[in-house]
Each structure stands twice: as structure tokens, then as C-alpha cells.
Chain A
Amino acid sequence: GAGVSQTPSNKVTEKGKYVELRCDPISGHTALYWYRQSLGQGPEFLIYFQGTGAADDSGLPNDRFFAVRPEGSVSTLKIQRTERGDSAVYLCASSSSGTPYNEQFFGPGTRLTVL
């Protein structure tokens, strides 16, 4: 597709379960970002990939959160032992390079609800 896609669009899970959220960036984009957006707030940075490696993972809140991008394109955000506080919209974005001025193209997000 032409834009960033994220699957699933909605995910409902129970407290303590494991979830995976997927992001397909724009083809050829080397930089990929994950953000978390809680209700009524702006997006909060989680992690930034340049190619296959995590260039900055300082935003991951704790060791229950992990993200991979094994082939430098698709990325998966993994959350273990989910908690109700993890409920939020998880946004993915990509850009053509890691230059800070470059436009980040966002996906529609995955709404995660932890019951």
C-alpha cells in the first residue's frame, strides 16, 4: 500500500496476556517509530529504529515492552503480561531517513484495550 499500515486496528485482551502489534511502513523508509497515545494526550515516544537496529529505545516504559524489526521493514511491538494501564492507541510512523527534519508518516494506530 501507499501508506503506513497497522494491524490489528483494535485489540482487546485480558490482563496478564501477551500481545503483538504489527506495523508495515512505507516501502523504502529506513526509519520507523512507535508511539503510545493515551486518551486525551499527545503521542508519547517509545522506540526508534534505523534499519534493523533500535537506535533509541529510551521511551519503552519497562521490560514488558519490546519491539523488533528483523529485516528492516515490518516491525512488531510486543507487550508481555499486559496491564490495564497499557490500554492506549499505539501509533507507528516511518520516514525516508533518520534525519530529524524529515516528515514522519503515521499509520492509523492500533487501539489496545486491556480488561
Chain B
Amino acid sequence: AQTVTQSQPEMSVQEAETVTLSCTYDTSESDYYLFWYKQPPSRQMILVIRQEAYKQQNATENRFSVNFQKAAKSFSLKISDSQLGDAAMYFCAYNSYNFNKFYFGSGTKLNVKP
């Protein structure tokens, strides 16, 4: 089974600074999809960014970008110009190309200091 590991239970960043959240995964598949979801205290998960494994180019969405290292099975999230509204739990997730079943990491709690 696929596993997703987020080794940073909690991180803090100063407003307007940059922070990187780490994620590694284990799989024997060659095609798959990776996601970062944000979960604020309201509990409603929101998609931040996604990456197709066959694409070498790293995905970007405004202030959010990823560093996808397929050989290392690493998928980190970089948040630039951090804002107070970025404070939340962030989950890394893996979805198989052939099976529609998300595997989530245990999450990283991001604190943003004013």
C-alpha cells in the first residue's frame, strides 16, 4: 500500500516570509497524482495545488509552488509571501493513476506570525 509521510507536525513562519512543508511518499507505481490540501479550523479541506507524476515541470498556483522530485519520492510545498489566512493544517495526498483512493499524510500545522 502507498504511504505518505509528513515529518513536520508543526511549523511557524513570519508573515510575508517563505516556508516549505515537506512530504515524502512510498509507491511502486510509475503514474500517480499528488495533492496538497489545506484544512482550516472549519474542517473543510480545500485543494491548494496538484501535480501529475508524469509531468517534470513543478506546479505553481500564485503564491504556492511545489518541488516534485520523482526519484526521491518527495513532494514539498512552498508558500511565498505568507499571509495570516494561510494558517491551517496542510495535508499531502497521493492518488493512484488506476485506483481512485486518496492516501493522506498526517498533516503539518502551519502557524503564521504577524
Q: Contact residues of A with B, CB < 8 Å?
A: 3, 31, 33, 35, 40-45, 48, 55-56, 58-59, 89, 91, 93, 98-101, 103-104, 106-109
Interface pair B50/A45, CB less than 8 Å apart = no
Nearest Cβ in chain A — how far from B106, in angstroms? 5
With A100-B33, A100-B96, A101-B50: A48-B44 Cβ-Cβ less than 8 Å: no
How many Å lie between the Cα of A104 and that of B6 in the bound state? Answer: 21
Nearest Cβ in chain B — how far from A56, in angstroms? 6
- Beyond A56-B101, A98-B100, A100-B98, list 8 extra A-B contacts (CB 8 Å): A42-B104, A43-B102, A45-B102, A56-B100, A59-B101, A101-B33, A104-B45, A109-B44
Nearest Cβ in chain B — how far from A49, in angstroms? 10
User: Is B25 an interface position by the 8 A CB rule?
Assistant: no
Q: A interface, by DSSP: helix, strand, loop or mixed?
A: loop
With A101-B50, A108-B43: A40-B106 Cβ-Cβ less than 8 Å: yes
Sorted from nearest, which 7 A-B pairs have the closest CB atoms?
A: A42-B104, A106-B45, A100-B95, A109-B43, A108-B44, A103-B47, A45-B101
